[in-house]
Amino acid sequence: MLSNKKAAPVLAKAEAANVETIAFNRAEIYESNLILEALSSHKIDLIVLAGFMWLVPENLVHEYSDRIINVHPALLPKFGGKGMYGMHVHNAVKDAREKETGITIHLVNKEYDKGRILFQAKCTLDEEDTPEDIAQKIHGLEHSNFPEQIEHYLQSI
């Protein structure tokens, strides 16, 4: 389990389950081979991003081409790109008066949110939905679809 946040609750959960963890900083991912070496030493086949907001370094994108998967809280290509994460996305969806939104599960390449789309799930929006309501709908879609789509993609590679 790798995290760029030393205090991420998932690290404690992983450690409790005897899963090795590494917390890293910007220099360790962008200026060293720490992450690549850790992945290689554990024979990792697929990288699944969850809440990772940094651009994935080119050396990882190259080494794990078509083997880094992410979920985005909107229907790409709308509302994607640098700075479009979390509540920023939900506020933009609300401001645009979208009638529907959803999630996009996609492969990661060297640009934010530009990798090949693997799956999208939609939900309808009501005019009175707040950005917080939108976030709740999106979380439901993520929880009900992301694990299944990861498994599906693993079986296809």
Active site residue 72: yes
Two structure tokens written together for 108: 């990661």
Q: Concatenated DSSP letters for 3-18?
A: ES-TT-HHHHHHHHTT
Strands (E), the chain: 2-3, 22-23, 47-48, 68-72, 100-107, 117-124
Active-site option among 62, 72, 139, 143: 72
Cα dihedral across residues 134, 140, 144, 149: positive or negative = positive
**Upstream peptide bond of 77 is cis (omega within 30 degrees of 0):** yes
Annotated catalytic residues are: 72
